[in-house]
Amino acid sequence: MNEAALARLVALEGRTALVAGGSGGIGSATAALLARAGARVLTVDLPGGVVPEGCEGLTCDLSDPRAPSALFAEIQRRTDALDLLVHSAGITRDGVLWKLGDEDWSSVIEVNLGSAFRLLRGAAPLLRKRGGGSVVLISSINGERGKFGQANYAASKAGLIGLARSAARELGRFGVRVNVVAPGLVLTPMTAVLAEEHLRKAIDETALGRAAEPADVANAVLFLCSDLARHVTGQVLRVDGGQLMA
């Protein structure tokens, strides 16, 4: 393979991406990177978020089950093609199991898992129509191992893995790949609120001895969106510096 062919494998020219949670730490790094790789990138986030460079920003509350119909109408008004979907919207409402309220449970499940289901359901016909594409759901290593004080969050993140693997089986014959990226600790607004001792503990758990930057996760998403990963589907790719190895 010559250099031009190699460069084409990672290039996303002619493809359109939707990045949910695209104003967040991981989402904005991912959206900007996909745009630099040549994709047309639409982001969706709550009103007031910063739209990453080179992207077009849409707004809606993804926890609202009615939101996707208006969102997809707007997407189809702007473009007749969707090739890539990245779900990076997420929240935490931490508390030990016996103190978690119904609202702590349902809000986390709706934003982290329900919205991924609804966006994937809405995107599936568009991806099928294109004859191929790539979906990446941002889970967490805590969805695999569980975490003290995060029963709601861990359940939502484990649910993303089941959702992705089922979708990978259903959409594979249409050329659509569906994968999960499971980060460990990433330095973003979500983790900026954590106490220093918690950050230190997580970093100490890693093999590499460092927390991830959003770009570390974005790089993995770009790989999964690109033709470099053309035979990769239904997988969970941990981007955690070796925090969880099993």
| 8 A C-beta contact, residue 41 and residue 108 | no
Q: How far apart are alpha carbons 162 and 116 in whole angstroms? A: 12
188 lines the binding site for ligand NAD (CB under 6 A): yes
| 8 A C-beta contact, residue 36 and residue 54 | yes
Nearer to ligand NAD, 90 or 241 (CB): 90
Question: Length of the chain, please?
Answer: 246
- Name the residue with the smallest CB distance to ligand NAD: 24
Catalytic site positions: 153
| 8 A C-beta contact, residue 16 and residue 84 | yes
Nearer to ligand NAD, 82 or 86 (CB): 86
189 lines the binding site for ligand NAD (CB under 6 A): yes
185 lines the binding site for ligand NAD (CB under 6 A): yes
In terms of Cβ atoms closer than 10 Å to its own Cβ (0-12, 13-18, 19+), residue 101 is exposed
Q: Nearest CA to 72 among 133, 127, 139, 14? A: 127
Pairing state between β 55-59 and 84-87: unpaired
194 lines the binding site for ligand NAD (CB under 6 A): no
Instruction: Indicate which single residue of 15, 18, 52, 63 sits in contact with ligand NAD (rule: CB under 6 A).
Output: 63
186 lines the binding site for ligand NAD (CB under 6 A): yes
Total interface residues for ligand NAD by CB under 6 A: 27
| Rg over CA atoms, the chain | 17
Site for ligand NAD in 77-96 (CB under 6 A): 88-91
Contact map string, positions 136 to 175, toward ligand NAD, x by CB under 6 A: --x-x-----------------------------------
Instruction: Indicate which single residue of 18, 27, 120, 161 sits in contact with ligand NAD (rule: CB under 6 A).
Output: 27
3-state SS, 32-77, equals HHHHHCCCEEEEEECCCCCCCCCEEEEECCCCCCCHHHHHHHHHHH
26 lines the binding site for ligand NAD (CB under 6 A): yes
Interface with ligand NAD (CB under 6 A): 21, 23-27, 45-46, 49, 61-63, 88-91, 111-112, 138, 140, 183, 185-186, 188-191
